[in-house]
Amino acid sequence: MQLVDSHCHLDAAEFDADREQVIARARAAGVRRQVVPATAAAGWPKLREVCRAEPGLHPAYGLHPTFLAEHRPGHLTELEAWIVRERPPAIGECGLDFFVEGLDQVAQAHYFDGQLQLAREHGLPVVVHARRAVDAVIAAIRRAGNGSRLSGVVHSFSGSPEQARQLWQLGFMVGLGGPLTYERAQRLRRLAADMPLEFLLLETDAPDQPDADIRGQRNEPARLRRVLDVVAELRG
């Protein structure tokens, strides 16, 4: 089994004490690689160090919408310099969050549009966060694509099947993880059961979004196996 955790915050402080063991458990569970998306510019150097320390860790640099208070207009310029110098496999985590109160939606759109622009110019996929904002994300991708095709993933997808289809048509995948292991997540479980596999990426979003078996605990990339098992069960 060779798995990729497409979304894992391995650089988070929650893993500072035992990061090597966490990675070893992931490898033992068949998780060979992890995409590790950034949250804010101040964290990029640590993210780079964490990913350099072990093979199979791939950093994505970006400006996460819920960390809006830490972003400055100049960070988009800095991000481009990091992209050119570090050649990451993706830009992110970027996107829109209309769930968390007090996050200026205009400012969020400014950073998201700027990162989509960089993705287009540098030919990189984007790792997108969309919380209560899938329609706005789809609209922004359409605008930014402007004829040329963007690609990427809307991670921890929680929208409707119609919204998923629109994303696939735009060249985007959906990322599914711990939330689909909860029986009450009917819509998500139906999507995992029915969707075309070529548009599905597995993720943990560790240390967040623990699956139902470790509810309330720190999530870790080895748990990707549980997500895979549930998807397999749902699809028969």
The interface region with Zn ion, picked from 27-35, 79-87, 90-98, 175-183 by CB under 5 A, is 90-98
Q: Is the dihedral of CA 93, 33, 161, 170 positive or negative?
A: positive
* Residue nearer to Zn ion on the CB measure, 93 or 211: 93
CB of 215 to Zn ion, least distance (A): 19
Angle between helices 105-122 and 74-86 (to 10 degrees): 30
Contacts of 42 (CB under 8 A, 6+ apart): 70
Candidates 79-87, 92-100, 187-195, 212-220 — which segment interacts with Zn ion by CB under 5 A? 92-100
The pattern of x and - marking residues 115 through 144 that bind Zn ion according to CB under 5 A reads ------------------------------
Segment near Zn ion (CB under 5 A), from 72-80, 93-101, 141-149, 210-218? 93-101
Q: How far is the CB of 212 from Zn ion (least distance, A)?
A: 19
Number of residues that bind Zn ion (CB under 5 A): 1
Residue placing its CB nearer to Zn ion in the complex, 80 or 93: 93
DSSP-derived letter for residue 219 is: P
**CA dist., res. 224 & res. 177, Å (int):** 8
The string over 169-205, giving b where at least 16 C-beta atoms fall within 10 Å of a residue's C-beta and e elsewhere, is ebebbbbbbbbbbeeebeebbebbeebeeebbbbbbb
What residue ranges bind Zn ion (CB under 5 A)? 93
